[in-house]
Copies of this chain bind each other. A is one copy, B any other.
Amino acid sequence: MFVIDKNNKLPLYIQLYKEIKKDIIANYKSGDKLHSIRKIASLYNVSKITVESAYSQLVVEGYIESYPKSGYIVTDMTNINSDPNKIQTITKIQKTEDYLYDFFPARLDNKSFPLKLWKRLLTKVIDNSLNLGSYPCGQGEYGLRTQIAKYINEFRGVKCQANQIVICNGFADSMGLLAKIIKKDYDTLAIENPGYQLTSNVFDSFGYKIKKVGIDNNGLNLDALNNSNANLVYITPSHQFPTGVSMPISNRLKLIQWAEKRNGLIIEDDYDSELRYSSRPIPSLQGLDNHDRVVFIGTFSKSLSPAIRVSYMVLPNHLLPLYQQSFDFDISRVSIITQKTLEKFISDGHWDRHLRKIRTLNRKKHDLMKKLLLDKLGNSLKIESQGGGLSILINPSVEFNWTLLKQLSSKKRIKLYFDKEISGGDWEAIHMGFGGLEEHEIESAINIFSEIWKQCILS
């Protein structure tokens, strides 16, 4: 029999409530009457108030009902399982593979994050002026939006006001929000092929039709776009993903004209334009547009950290009322602490300095990897894309055993990324990410890679 344990941390009434609940489940049926409060109190040697409290909790949860004069009656509990502690089957869904070197194409060197500075700024922004009891502004903190507007105006040529900016927690979040608010006006998305598959995934999940449009040396093929009959297009004009092509000014203007004529919309994904090593960043397409037809998407993932989860979207003015009427207008997507810290980071001038630092750092890595690849494999390899971002794209220039490459790299614990898997198209190239590797690691990694590569050449 149950004995109340007066040394147990749990209040007496809760111990009792748990015990009676177990008893009801195991031994009572619907309509059965419980013992009176007086009886239980004397049985367990506890006060009547303790029993009353235990019984009221059982009433609140609906196990028993209280009837004046009749006392406490067990309710209908057909189907309750007699073993409420049974643990469900466990499916392990995560495994982490351990690679010697991982050429992930969108990773930064952990050391490049300004850890100490960030910590200092964090502790500065956390004070009583922060309202942590309320929902923050859905669109993002006004101060941060002002800083971003200033930055993208100066460095990316984007023409916008803070009220056009929405702070999001990553590219997919920005795309999801956009897909939601323009759904009534657009049903088909044209997207570069090869292109960034995540974009198709997001728009597909909202029920959009996806039309893949080919690219050429000038980026998106505009004739093919015209033929697609889509009025909405997603492009990466300054550094096409994955081929690295940039769209020349003439085509940018034609594209804007296309959008103007059709009342269409251009989604400009400016994912890594900060990182260009052989020229200055190319000004945004948004800045050329005078007809309010461009949505500009930026992120801090490629140049500051993918782990702080901050991106942003610049809406054209005509979409602002739509956004404002959508339920998302009230939903803040990023911690106010992160937003305030980032705002201070930019306004205090650290962002400019950081960009210069990270550009130099990654230019060095880029140049090193390019040199090593050409020195070691120049005869059998061609470079498809280089000069920007966090990876170099390569292909064999000779007959090549791709299957063996995959087998050997896996055996040697080298993680490679293939464009067919990333972009889901027909075009193939290997993404050789350098951002996440330190310089000495690049040397060792390319050494092993070259040995593998040579074995895959079919001569």
Contacts and interface: CB of A to CB of B under 8 A. Distances in A.
Interface of A: 14, 17, 30, 56-57, 60-63, 75-81, 83-94, 104, 106-113, 115, 118-119, 122-123, 126-128, 130-137, 139, 142, 157, 159-161, 163, 169-170, 172-173, 176, 180, 183, 197-198, 201-202, 205-207, 218, 246-254, 256-257, 279-280, 282-283, 287-288, 290, 292, 301, 305-310, 316-317, 320-321, 323-324, 327-328, 331-338, 435-436
A169 B169 CA distance: 9
B163 A93 contact: yes
- Per assembly, the copies of the chain total 2
Nearest to A127: B115
B169 A334 contact: yes
A335 B338 contact: yes
Given A75-B250, A248-B75, A91 B176 contact: no
Contacts of A169: 169, 309, 333-334
B288 A308 contact: no
A70 to B, nearest CB: 18
Given A110-B134, A133-B110, A282-B61, A80 B288 contact: yes
28 contacts: A57-B280, A60-B279, A60-B280, A62-B248, A62-B251, A75-B248, A75-B249, A78-B253, A79-B254, A89-B292, A89-B317, A93-B323, A94-B142, A111-B133, A115-B132, A118-B126, A119-B122, A132-B305, A133-B435, A134-B436, A169-B309, A176-B176, A183-B205, A197-B327, A307-B335, A307-B336, A309-B332, A337-B338
A109 B283 CA distance: 45
A133 B161 contact: no
Given A122-B122, A126-B122, A320-B93, A62 B134 contact: no
Contacts of A128: 110, 115
Given A57-B280, A126-B122, A333 B170 contact: yes
A409 to B, nearest CB: 20
B14 A280 contact: yes
A90 to B, nearest CB: 5
A223 B90 CA distance: 33
Q: Give chain A's interface secondary structure class.
A: loop
Contacts of A310: 335
A73 to B, nearest CB: 12
A126 B115 contact: yes
Contacts of A282: 60-61
Contacts of A163: 90-94
A79 B161 contact: no
A332 B310 CA distance: 11
B279 A331 contact: no
Contacts of A111: 133
Given A290-B88, A338-B338, A57 B131 contact: no
Contacts of A292: 88-89
Nearest to A308: B335
Contact of A57 (B76, B279, B287, B309): B279
Nearest to A282: B61
Given A61-B282, A333-B309, A91 B288 contact: no
Contacts of A253: 77-80
